């Protein structure tokens, strides 16, 4: 994520988590070495938006590639995000914190207009790649007990239910399932991950750049 992405990420975050307050301090987190913030974007998307292509944009089955970009702390400059040039269209984001030897997903959200288009899975792929790059051992997260679709995706990527956090969500006091992967550098997990990423790219035509 870059500074100029913040307005779009804030909008996606408020849409996905309207009852969470205060909102995440994105600009501060971008300077924290324990945090990684990734975004899925449409490269050169502003050129597309300014062209004569009919609205709405084509679904992502088109050959527009979406890339995940990781924010590098050295890119931070003085001034607010609003003063920068608009970013490429942001489809979703994920916030990952290094906690001990684990990568902990603290938030993952996709623009409602682009849900069920493989973007959430792309962000999960980026999380694993980023975690491997940072030499973290496992990936963990909390997910709503009622969110069966998300749980299905996480199970597909080798997450397992390892615990429950009672009354975890403030809006309705719903329980959260704690899910975690086995060590992601192990050969068995790497074989699974390669198969899944290959299938995802074949279906959706996305790629990633970390």
Residue with tokens 């979406």: 66
Q: Where are the domains of the chain?
A: 3-204
Which is the catalytic residue, given 137, 142, 145, 174?
Answer: 142
Task: Quick: pLDDT tens for 50-60.
Answer: 333 333 333 33
Task: Quick: pLDDT tens for 103-132.
Answer: 999 999 999 999 999 999 999 999 999 999
Which is the catalytic residue, given 88, 117, 121, 154?
Answer: 154
Specify the pLDDT at position 100: 94
Specify the pLDDT at position 171: 87
Topology (CATH) of 3-204: Aminopeptidase (3.40.630)
Average pLDDT, the chain: 83
pTM of the model as a whole: 0.81
How far, in Å, CA of 61 to CA of 205, rounded?
7
CB 143 within 8 A of CB 106: no
Spacing of C-alpha 133 from chain mean position: 16
Specify the length of the chain in residues.
210
**Mean local confidence (pLDDT), 157-182:** 96
CB 139 within 8 A of CB 131: yes
Specify the pLDDT at position 80: 52
CB atoms within 10 A of CB 6: 22
154 annotated active-site: yes
């Amino acid at each position: 994520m870059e500074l100029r992405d913040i307005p779009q990420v804030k909008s996606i975050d408020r849409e996905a988590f309207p009852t969470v307050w205060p909102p995440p301090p994105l600009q501060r987190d971008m300077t924290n070495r324990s945090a990684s913030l990734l975004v899925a974007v449409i490269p050169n998307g502003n050129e597309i938006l300014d062209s004569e292509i009919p609205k709405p944009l084509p679904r992502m089955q088109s050959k527009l590639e979406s890339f995940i970009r990781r924010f590098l702390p050295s890119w931070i400059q003085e001034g607010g995000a609003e003063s920068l040039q608009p970013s490429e269209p942001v489809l979703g984001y994920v916030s990952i914190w290094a906690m001990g030897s684990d990568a902990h997903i603290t938030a993952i959200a996709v623009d409602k207009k682009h849900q069920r288009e493989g973007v959430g899975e792309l962000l999960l792929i980026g999380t694993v790649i980023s975690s491997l790059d940072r030499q973290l051992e496992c990936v963990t997260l909390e997910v709503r007990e009622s969110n069966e679709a998300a749980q299905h995706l996480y199970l597909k990527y080798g997450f397992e239910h390892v615990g429950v956090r009672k009354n975890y969500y403030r809006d309705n006091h719903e329980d959260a399932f704690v899910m975690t992967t086995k060590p992601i550098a192990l050969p068995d997990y790497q074989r699974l991950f390669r198969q899944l990423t290959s299938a995802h790219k074949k279906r959706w035509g996305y790629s990633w750049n970390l």
